[in-house]
Amino acid sequence: MTPGQLDPRGPRFGAGITSVLMLLVIYFSLEPATVPIAVGILAFSVVMFTFGSTVGPAKHPFSYLYKFTLRKFLKEPTYLEPDKPVHFAQVIGLVVTGSGLVLHLLSVPNALPISAALAFLAAFVNAVFAYCIGCQMYLGLKRLGVIR
């Protein structure tokens, strides 16, 4: 694969995993007795977004999981996508989940399920419809000249 280019199915695979994790956070955050489980799952997600934000989407743990499990059963991708928008989307995911975790730890009511719901929405849309909201934000900011 070309450096700076990604198989677009990899980030969608990761978004599917993130969707399931965020649904679990929402579910476990509804009952006070299971909130610590929700916090743990969200903390794990924050760590995963930190990986994607620092080392890039090609070296993300979910990317390796995709490469060594599902990828070998699929045909070559028909196109590749640039990794910079996906990297930016990982930063946005880190901001959303990280702020939800921090706000929850500061005892802000419903911060946990709200941030998980926002992250679920973005991940689900990416996984199911191949529409990356964070990537579109990147492209919009690039068109406006905010990002070079």
Cα torsion through 60, 64, 67, 68, rounded to 10: -170
Residue 32: pLDDT band (50, 70, 90) is: very high
* 46 CB neighbour count, 10 Å cutoff: 18
Average pLDDT of the segment spanning 117-125: 98
Mean pLDDT confidence for 57-81? 90
E-assigned strand segments in the chain: 5-6, 81-82
Residue 91 Cα distances to 53, 98, 126, angstroms: 5, 10, 15
For position 4, what pLDDT does the model report?
84
Residues of the chain with pLDDT > 90: what percent?
A: 84
Q: What whole-number distance in Å separates Cα of residue 99 and Cα of residue 117?
A: 13
What is the C-alpha separation between 111 and 77, in angstroms, rounded?
A: 38
High-pLDDT (> 70) share of the chain, %: 99
Side-chain half-sphere CA neighbours of 81 within 13 A: 19
CA quadruple 77, 69, 72, 3: dihedral sign: positive
Residue 148 pLDDT grade (very low, low, confident, very high; cuts 50, 70, 90): confident
> What confidence score (pLDDT) does residue 3 get?
75
* pLDDT for the residue numbered 71: 87
Average pLDDT over residues 65-76: 90
Q: What is the pLDDT, as a whole number, of residue 1? A: 58
Return left, alpha or beta for 130; rule: phi > 0 is left, psi -120 to 50 is alpha, else beta.
Answer: left
